[in-house]
Amino acid sequence: IRVKPPAQTTAQYGLAGVAETLAWLRGQL
């Protein structure tokens, strides 16, 4: 599982980061 900050991921990878952020948040629930 990834532990990198979603915000940083989104800033670096744009739309790809958004999808990864959603997956990350889902993993936190």
- 8 A C-beta contact, residue 9 and residue 24: yes
Give the pLDDT confidence score for residue 4 in this predicted structure: 63
- 8 A C-beta contact, residue 11 and residue 23: no
pTM more than 0.75: no
- 8 A C-beta contact, residue 10 and residue 22: no
Give the pLDDT confidence score for residue 7 in this predicted structure: 65
Give the pLDDT confidence score for residue 13 in this predicted structure: 66
The parent domain of residue 10 ranges over 1-29
Three-state DSSP state, 8: helix
Q: Which two tokens stand for residue 24?
A: 């990350």
Give the pLDDT confidence score for residue 3 in this predicted structure: 64
Separation CA 4–CA 14 (nearest Å) = 15
**Total count of domains within the chain:** 1
Give the pLDDT confidence score for residue 14 in this predicted structure: 73
pLDDT in tens, 1-29: 566 666 666 566 677 778 888 888 898 76
